[in-house]
Structure 1
């Protein structure tokens, strides 16, 4: 339920000042550049919980040469208090239980424009975008993120007072997935794209919330938002978006199967039949460069491994690890999806073979506790840091020989690409984007079954390679050449946007 406070007046501050309105921009300065609103719940420059934050920071920037890209994100406390000026450029009214909000504009140093959806009671809270400081979902998440989707639709309709109107809306994951639905119900002509970063998180709420969210009664059936007696934000986005993408080709296929379709495989297969589902692999941003990364103790390049050794020595000191043995890294959210329980199961095997394990991450309390206990039982051989620090994470990638990534499913994954760029060979399950980005025995090691026995076999293969320096160096060199930067991997998005915005596509959408 929405609280009365959520619809309270939003006070002005020196940073949140009204802006003069220029003439409405209906056409891009360059005809080939289209206006695209990128709707997200995370943005690594300002607030990040996972890979979505990295993608949201990198993809719009990579597409900026081709399109006028602008972001829309909730005005979390971390954003409002970031020290960057925000000026009010628009507002949206309340409807049902969705409160009125102001829309601020933040201009970043590199020219990227971020629209911030401002409502103090709704978004400015301690905790993360999704949970409180105790790790519990905010009870009004359905209000908070439906409001985000509706604001995107209002901006696309030209009803938010912003002197800029997108020609296409790109929504990301369940927190933004209501945008295509609200656009359809309001008959907004602009096409919408929904990118599924993780199908397992669907944004479910009670069916009785439909009236709070101003959802038409006709949309509440099985052909709309209804999902086993609940409302699914993600299903809404899939059903109403003009096109759906996922973050790897293999994952696009996997989610159409009952095994990984999370109950939405039938709807997704229908999207395939309509040529409305595709997999577009993520890239990594330009900061992941081992020669020049300022986070590293010392840079390195192919054939010059002194910097890699310097980072390894730092990691061993930081985590109190013995100086000998190959170094295995875990840089991950500590959650069931990531197969952390499997790593716990094989850890003693690694140690018995002379390996050392460095862990940095946080997540489910039970897995955090189990990992911390593992470190206490194997002092000097397993070092565990519960939490996250960007510099230490990058140094662990750079200093390690292997990355452990036994994910039960992985839509794309960025960690394996970060590791490869820093000459750490991933040992990963053959699933989703891991299968697309790792060539077994060439740029890493893959195993099929999500079980400890198959995982141990892949680890043993990696240890065999470690004992042959020439082969190890050859695989490191190949791994470093494997990942794509975003500027190399955005062509597919550009082609999709151009297709959806073509006159032929627009006519088909009206049929």
Structure 2
């Protein structure tokens, strides 16, 4: 068996380093591995599968370049394994996840009532009407719909939402959420829906059809994550002309560019500090821009022209595999800040 795997290269991809496969020491003895290996792969006295993978893989990838840097340089974001990753720094790569545009694209989306493209962008508002009708909310072109599709968890920033939700409701917005998760956030959202029935729509659970309708019908997509290895919904949103408001972390930092109204460049709005007030500041900036119809239209189109398809990501993986099989060529390293 050893001869069979001689020369075989291994690539480990870390999607979310918070989930490591941690088991008691007794589980190690079931593995059949030599006892001396446990000293290398143990973490806090436990058998840590992910640490073993990091140490013994030829190359480690993550699902975005910024997340690769974050988990190496920040022990909190590295979930206790940043020191291990620093030992392998030269072998760590960040390659952004891709989007399947045959499924997530407004011109051929089978789940939305009215398909549209960058050339027929005004048709998007027919989907906004359908979305609001689904939640029993009144349509008003002047009022933006702010939406979230998410696991309801602190990682996704719902502790920040809880902190500022009443302030958010004072803004001239309608707020729609699709998700499931921590019962305390499910309860919070249901409570907010009851408190502001004319402004809030909540669906606890998941619906593929509704997720597509939200992407097509919302004006703003809110994603205030504490950390985000890659994130896909912000990339879906860009394709649908739904402007993302996100925290500048992980894949969100790699895919959303701060909009500059003077130059007309950028695709969304970002905030850095993990705080409810900074979230509100970014959201208010988006709302101010929404009022200027011509500028908002430019911003929507900027996002719709971005290409985050798997074509680009797959090429980077192929290049990495080729470098891995060519020992004399040194692979590019990911430097931590």
Q: TM-score, normalised by structure 1?
A: 0.60
Residue 244 (1) aligns with residue 60 (2): yes
Please state whether the residue corresponding to 1:256 is helix, strand or coil. Answer: helix
Alpha-carbon distance, 1:269 to partner: 1.1
* CA distance, structure 2, for counterparts of residue 473 and residue 337 of structure 1: 31
* CA distance, structure 2, for counterparts of residue 246 and residue 303 of structure 1: 35
The answer as to whether partners of 1:200 and 1:262 remain within 8 angstroms in 2 is yes
The answer as to whether partners of 1:242 and 1:276 remain within 8 angstroms in 2 is yes
**Which residue of 2 is the match for residue 485 of structure 1?**
309
Please state whether the residue corresponding to 1:458 is helix, strand or coil. Answer: helix
Matched residues, number: 319
The answer as to whether partners of 1:322 and 1:356 remain within 8 angstroms in 2 is no
Query: Which has the larger helix fraction?
Result: 2
**Which residue of 1 is the match for residue 247 of structure 2?**
429
**Which residue of 2 is the match for residue 220 of structure 1?**
38
Please state whether the residue corresponding to 1:455 is helix, strand or coil. Answer: helix
Moved more, 238-247 or 187-196: 187-196
Residue 314 (1) aligns with residue 121 (2): no
Please state whether the residue corresponding to 1:495 is helix, strand or coil. Answer: helix
CA-based RMSD:
1.8
The answer as to whether partners of 1:437 and 1:482 remain within 8 angstroms in 2 is no
The structure whose RCO (Cα within 8 Å, separation 6+) is larger is 2
Please state whether the residue corresponding to 1:498 is helix, strand or coil. Answer: helix
**Which residue of 2 is the match for residue 278 of structure 1?**
93
Alpha-carbon distance, 1:187 to partner: 5.3
**Equivalent residue runs for 1:11-410 within 5 Å:** 188-221=6-39, 223=40, 225-257=41-73, 258-272=75-89, 275-286=90-101, 287-324=103-140, 325-410=143-228
Question: Which of 325, 328, 332 in structure 2 is aligned with 1:501?
Answer: 325
* CA distance, structure 2, for counterparts of residue 355 and residue 497 of structure 1: 47
Spell out, residue by residue over 1:335-364, the C-alpha distance to the aligned partner (whole angstroms, 9 max, x if none).
Answer: 110001212333333321210011101112
**Which residue of 1 is the match for residue 290 of structure 2?**
466
Alpha-carbon distance, 1:482 to partner: 2.0
**Which residue of 1 is the match for residue 262 of structure 2?**
none
* CA distance, structure 1, for counterparts of residue 236 and residue 197 of structure 2: 27
Please state whether the residue corresponding to 2:198 is helix, strand or coil. Answer: coil
* CA distance, structure 2, for counterparts of residue 330 and residue 341 of structure 1: 14
Q: TM-score, normalised by structure 2?
A: 0.90
* CA distance, structure 1, for counterparts of residue 196 and residue 96 of structure 2: 38
* CA distance, structure 2, for counterparts of residue 212 and residue 311 of structure 1: 55
| Structure 2: stretches of 5+ with no match in the other structure | 260-265, 330-337
Please state whether the residue corresponding to 1:433 is helix, strand or coil. Answer: helix
